[in-house]
Structure 1
Amino acid sequence: MRDLALAPPPLSPLTGGLADSLFETAARNPTLPMLARRSDADPAVWREVTAVEFRDEVVDLAKGLIACGISPGDRVAILARTRYEWTVFSYALWAVGAEVVPIYPTSSRDQVEWILRDAGCVAVVVEDEQSVMTVGSVCASLPSLRHVWQLDAGVMDTLVARGEFLPFATVDSMRRIVLPDSTAVVAYTSGTSGRAMGCALSHRGLASPCDTLIAGWGHTVAPPGEQGVVLAFLPFSHVYGLMIQSLCVRGGLLMGHEPAMTAEALSSALRSLRPTYLYAVPSVLEKLYKNFLRTAQKAGRGALFERAAETARDFAAALERQRLGRGAGPGLDLRLQHALYERTVYRRLRSALGGRVRRATSGGSPLSRELSLFFEGIGVYVHDGYGLTETSGGLTMQPLGREKSGTVGQPLPGMEIRVADDGEILVRGPSLFQGYIGDEAATLEVLRGGWLATGDLGHLDDENYLAITGRKKDIIITSGGKSVAPAALEQRLRMHPLVHQAVVVGDNRPCVGALITLDPEFLTHWRAGLALQGDAPVREAREENALREEVARAVAAANSAVSRSESIRVFRVLPDPFDVANGMLTPSMKLRRDEIVRTYAFEIDAMYEARSHGRPPAPPQEPAGWEDSDNVFFR
């Protein structure tokens, strides 16, 4: 085994619960803006909510919860998108010592029933009438459930009115008895196979990585003298989203909420709130890149964008060599090219993010080195971090001034990482979970002498940077005995603008194959640019051939990063995407590989039976020109 642990010790131990930081900030700096809430009259206008206003809302709601019988240790589920009320409810619940049970709003009826029953929830906060009906249809099997509160029906006002008779001191006294090791959240794993399990996370566990990040990296979220601004749009039902919320509240950052994950909503929110720091997942960053490219191509300047993107990657790679002591940095010609594209391209790309973002963090899954270099090259350095639900979020971060793209950085102070002989990553530290509720056997299976077996595979390079190579259970073994980690191939496939999703298969098969879905928006744009001649049958046949050749180019590009025995030799383009509704994705958007392989067993068999090398790919065509437009985000 090989160990890695940074020398700096963890910060001072927590003395209370997560709600304490809000009360302390309100007492110390009552006028500090902490939340940004959209104006009812104009969604593009954000109204700032100060620390004392936020605290008072939390106290008023907490009094209503107490009046309804919510007690310390009670579990209350929140089944809603990322919105202002989610934050107020969670802090009100923590203030009275209750435990929050986040549920993805996209969860099925059976998933909702399982979580509410398994956690023994006494109440659930839902967003709309549809969610009320979902919960209502399973109430008969939930003897502990006493309350269903609907946000869109004005339940916050109702609860506030119900608790008016209680004094502030009632909430304050309950908050003060919350211990750091009390359970704050029961977060359910995505359940890529089998039932989801509830991870008990303590107040200390959730606060620990946040406080460490604030202490070491907090000064990077905004220019000196300015307050950091963050748009929260990732689900608070995932530990990454919860971590963002805690980081903002504990770090004194201004946080706005965007509940809709549509292209238009995100674009509008970013442009109006103008965050100084961006938190995202690789799929969002991949989508950004593809939409930059598509917008350029639609304006006739695709070739210009691709040259600018290549220069950005070269420039970032040269900067990386310089900061790691491996080179002199960008040469004069490269600096001149980069300066030209800064004026003509890069600043417009940054304007799509609001114009103020200079740094970002990616989490949830590894970010490709190619994409990381692109964003650094256009002026937005993306830290790629690593964490799990069982670790209360972040485990690693890029060391400032020594960032290395293609890795997830080094462990946070106080965390230890060990890579086992079989490549599995083991971790331990103050943010480890308290166990799976009601399943001691499963807890003991992953906790080995204080070390958590993550199920992830990775390696440490000579400078002790951690790289994630895949999931242990996802490894494919071909009939020839070759072991293949699918993640890297899938990641590279998704970099092609036409490819939306990719699943690499090949267990007990003669070679590696792939199931591919296409990006519908880019596919429409691509088809419009073909300008094929002839009658309908001829055009369709030519289009199908051109599409296959384009996908073959994407496969060839992915194969260039692996050996021949690991390369994709056959592929099939599927007509429908993988999503939560058809059971192919978890609520956190991870692939349910077993379900995908089972559902598409016929297509996989046919793909291998019809195995052929196909015709050689045609050279790509590049349209020229790109109109001078700032609107280069999602279209």
Structure 2
Amino acid sequence: MATAHAHAHALSAAPSAAAPPLAAYAGFVSPPQLLLDTAQRLGAHPAYCVRTESGWQATSWEEHGRQVRDAGKALIGLGVKRGDAVAILSFNTPQWVTLAFAAMAIGATPVGIYWTSSPQDIAYILNHCKASVLMVDEASRLQAVHACEDELPHLRHIVMLRDSDSAQARKPVMSWDAFMKLGEAALAQEFEQRLQALSADDIGTLIYTSGTTGPAKAVALSQGNLWWVGHTMRQLFDVDERDRVISYLPLAHIAEQMNSMHNQVHSGFTVYYARSMEELGDHLKEVRPTIFFGVPRVWEKMQSGIEAKLAQATGVKAALARWAMSVGQRWHALDHAGQPAGPWLTLQKQLAHRLVHRKVKEALGLDQARLLSSGAAPIAPEKLRFFAGLDVVVRELYGQSEVTGPSTLSLPGSTRVGSVGKPLPGTEIMVAEDGELRVRGPHLFQCYMGSPQATADSFSGEWLLTGDLGHIDEDGYVFITGRKKDLIITSGGKNISPSNIETTLMDAHLVEHAVVCGDGRNYLVALLTLDPVALAAFASQHGLLDEPHLHEHPLVLQTLQADIDHVNASQARVAQVRKFAVLPQSLSVASGELTPTLKVKRKVVLERNQALIELLYRNGTH
């Protein structure tokens, strides 16, 4: 294996403020080499499946490996050099992954662009990373590229995944098939030479943060970072080619890259590519994944649908559901702590499984799931207890792009609801004097590409400043209490983290999203949006189906006030929500109020509703 070497290209990373010890990368194999090794080992076994009109169509590992080689040679044929950026603007597809690994294999850097990005965002990223090649999946996104094409001096080639009218394009556009044919046999030797020259220091991906303040920062993660996290996860979990995963969260996000790409090449499981976010529920029932990662909003939507059906149950069925929920919660509370449940409770759980749990899990498509997790944003502990009651055990983890995904995990026999688990092996976490969590380990990013000052500002010695507030209990469990930059400082000088208040409010049956504010004020107020499924069930139950403007109906407001009173009962007086307003529409990615992983952009929501907030502070109406 080649030793670390300096790069001359602009995309090369300066050494990070916390270079990992060499021993951490002992046994390093570059991610693309690992993919090719796994392809050789598993041969005809399915590497991935794509949903067609006739069902799920599989592609073998052997073919997957060949596609990565051909795409790598094609990039060389297009003149892509070591350190060049190769950008991808697409929904999740096998070609997204093929091109990313191909770029890595030849020493280039894959750059994912969220499929929801505006022309301005697309132009910013393409110019910042100086991408020479861009893959686009469909016509609407090609239109967004057309809109900014004159501002892209570095872009030389556009590869189109599906047929589209490219007459408007001022850059050369080729089909995916035409691109793959560029991978001539004569380029095989150069491909192999570049592959063998890779080191742990080479940049493996750029993750553009979906932050709400200023331009997105480019988080540079090395191939060593990516390998180490995948290797560590493989050691922690018993996962192999018999497992199944659905890829549906944006591949431009580190969580999905680790799940669908890097964890896969270590373990060999089969990835099923969702056709759309809207079809996820159907895909779950068809695929019955053994491993599933969901952001909180996905779990919340699932819970809302289950609750709507449970609300229809009456008499014996309703009593049976309540009993099964209670049994599941009590059994898993003991199991989470690594304690035996005892024969009587275990017998009850077996009966609850036959009568209730099995049917619910089959209806969700999670009856074969072994590993379920939630991350990317806080989830209310009550939601995790709800699912545990149905024998659907969702474990919370914590991380960020700058640590190549996870910093903590909740593991079987070592789970505490409300905590995000314990640090990964080889990872250290400490709490600074101001309550901010700091992390160090072999998975810390190399730099913010092109932003040396921002890189320096994100470290204190070897410790990454996460920006998250939290604490660690006496047993080593990590708890997140909020974001440092989101702290509310009241007019009385009290510091309040809105995150946990918002998470608890969102556990209320009708509430979809909650944003709490009160900076410089003498009390807190909340902006709420309503869950459409829960609201429809509520309207049906109370005979309000024909009522216009349900979000303003007195009965809805009365119910919300009762929920807020319940939340306030567990808060210090200064952290209680005194007034609230209900927004008429849901927050969405398209409107710019949610990130692509469905986290609320607090700053955007507060700025857009400033007039409503002022009204809440002027009078006492809800």
State TM-score, norm by structure 1: 0.87
**Any idea what the Cα deviations from partners look like across 1:256-279, whole Å, max 9, x if unmatched?**
1114111xx112211111211111
CA distance in 2, matches of 1:504, 1:122: 43
2:182 corresponds, among 153, 162, 165, to 162
Is the 1:16–1:176 contact (alpha carbons within 8 Å) kept by the matching residues of 2?
A: no
- Aligned counterpart, 1:618: none
Could you say which residue in structure 2 is the equivalent of 1:275? 289
CA shift for structure 1 position 377 = 3.4
Matched, 1:28 2:45: no
Is 1:463 aligned to residue 478 of structure 2? no
1:248 aligns with 2:264: yes
Range with bigger deviation, 448-457 or 267-276: 267-276
CA distance in 1, matches of 2:310, 2:419: 30
Per-residue deviation, 1:401: 2.1
For 1:546 and 1:336, how far apart are their aligned partners in 2? 42
8 Å CA contact retained: 1:61, 1:156: no
Deviation at 1:181, TM superposition (A): 0.8
Counterpart secondary structure, 2:394: strand
Contact 2:206–2:219 under 8 Å retained in 1: yes
SS for the counterpart of 2:311 is helix
Query: 1:625 is matched with which residue?
Result: none
1:621 corresponds in structure 2 to none
Residue 41 of structure 1: how far off its partner (Å): 4.4
* Residue 194 in structure 1 maps to residue 214 in structure 2: yes
**Secondary structure at the counterpart of residue 62 of structure 2:** helix
Q: How far is 1:34 from its partner?
A: 2.0
Deviation of 1:317 after TM superposition, in Å, equals 2.2
Tell me the equivalent position of 1:442: 454
Indicate the SS of the match to 1:157. helix
Question: Shift of the alpha carbon at 1:56?
Answer: 0.7
2:487 to 458, 466, 475: 475
Q: CA deviation at 1:354?
A: 4.3
Paired position in structure 2 for 1:345? 356
Residue 246 (structure 2) pairs with residue 231 (structure 1): yes
* Secondary structure of the structure 1 residue equivalent to 2:87: strand
Aligned residue in 2 for 1:574? 583
**How many residue pairs end up in the alignment?**
587
Q: Report if aligned partners of 1:79, 1:105 keep a CA contact under 8 Å in 2.
A: yes
Residue 124 in 1 paired to residue 119 in 2? no
Moved more, 500-509 or 11-20: 11-20
Q: Following the alignment from structure 2 to structure 1, what is the Cα–Cα distance between the partners of residues 116 and 179?
A: 26
Per the alignment, residue 166 of structure 2 pairs with: none
Is residue 319–residue 330 contact of structure 1 (8 Å, CA) maintained in 2? no
Q: CA deviation at 1:389?
A: 0.6
The SS at the match of 1:166 is helix
The DSSP-based 3-state class of the residue aligned with 1:162 is coil
Cα distance in 2 between the residues matched to 1:558 and 1:598: 25
Q: Does 2:121 match 1:111?
A: yes
Alignment match, 1:406: 418
Can you list the C-alpha shifts for 1:200-233, whole angstroms capped at 9, x where unaligned? 110111121111011122x1x47xxx71111111
Partners of 2:256 and 2:550 lie apart in 1 by 46
Which whole-Å CA distance do the structure 2 matches of 1:540 and 1:114 have between them? 40
| Cα distance in 1 between the residues matched to 2:324 and 2:491 | 43
Name the aligned partner's letter for residue 465 of structure 1. Y
Runs of 4+ displaced beyond 6 Å: 539-543
Pair 1:138-2:148 in alignment: yes
Q: Which runs of 5+ in 2 are unaligned?
A: 1-21, 164-173
The TM-score, its normalising length taken from structure 2, stands at 0.89
1:216 aligns to 2:236 (yes or no): yes
Q: Cα offset for 1:169?
A: 3.3
Separation in 1, partners of 2:466, 2:551: 48
Q: Which has the higher contact order (CA 8 A, sep 6+)?
A: 1
Match of 2:527 in 1: 515
CA shift at 1:171, angstroms?
Answer: 2.2
Residue type of the alignment partner of 1:511: Y
CA distance in 2, matches of 1:540, 1:81: 35
In the TM superposition, what is the alpha-carbon distance from 1:105 to its structure 2 partner?
0.4
- Output the aligned Cα RMSD: 2.5
1:93 aligns with 2:103: yes
Residues 1:295 and 2:309 aligned together:
yes
Q: Using the alignment, how far apart are the partners of 2:31 and 2:398 within structure 1?
A: 22
Instruction: Give 1:365's aligned residue.
Output: 377
Displacement of 1:470? 0.8
Give, in whole Å, the separation in 2 of the partners of 1:190 and 1:420: 26
Query: Cα distance, 1:442 vs. partner?
Result: 0.6
User: Aligned to 2:529, what secondary structure does the other structure show?
Assistant: strand
Q: 1:293 to 1:14 in 2, by over 3 A?
A: same
Corresponding letter in the other structure for 1:203: Q
Q: Shift in Å at residue 503 of structure 1?
A: 0.3
| Residues 95 and 530 (structure 1), Cα distance of their counterparts in 2 relative to 1, 3 Å cut | same
Aligned residue number for residue 72 of structure 1: 82
Pairing of 1:532-571 with structure 2 (within 5 A)? 544-571=553-580
Q: Distance in 2 between matches of 1:145 and 1:229?
A: 37
Q: Give distance in 2, aligned partners of 1:177 and 1:552.
A: 63
Superposed CA offset, 1:364-383 (max 9, x none): 02332222233333223222
Aligned to 2:171: none
Tell me which residue corresponds to 1:451.
Answer: 463
Deviates more, 1:393-402 or 1:96-105: 393-402
The answer to whether the 8 Å contact 1:279/1:362 transfers is yes
Aligned partners of 1:236, 1:22: CA distance in 2, in Å? 17
Query: Is contact 2:77-2:187 (8 Å) kept?
Result: no
Identity %: 33
| Rounded Cα–Cα distance in structure 1 between residues aligned with 2:35 and 2:177 | 21
Which stretch of structure 1 is more off in the superposition, 282-291 or 451-460? Answer: 282-291
Note if 1:389 corresponds to 2:408.
no
C-alpha deviation, 1:399, in angstroms:
4.0
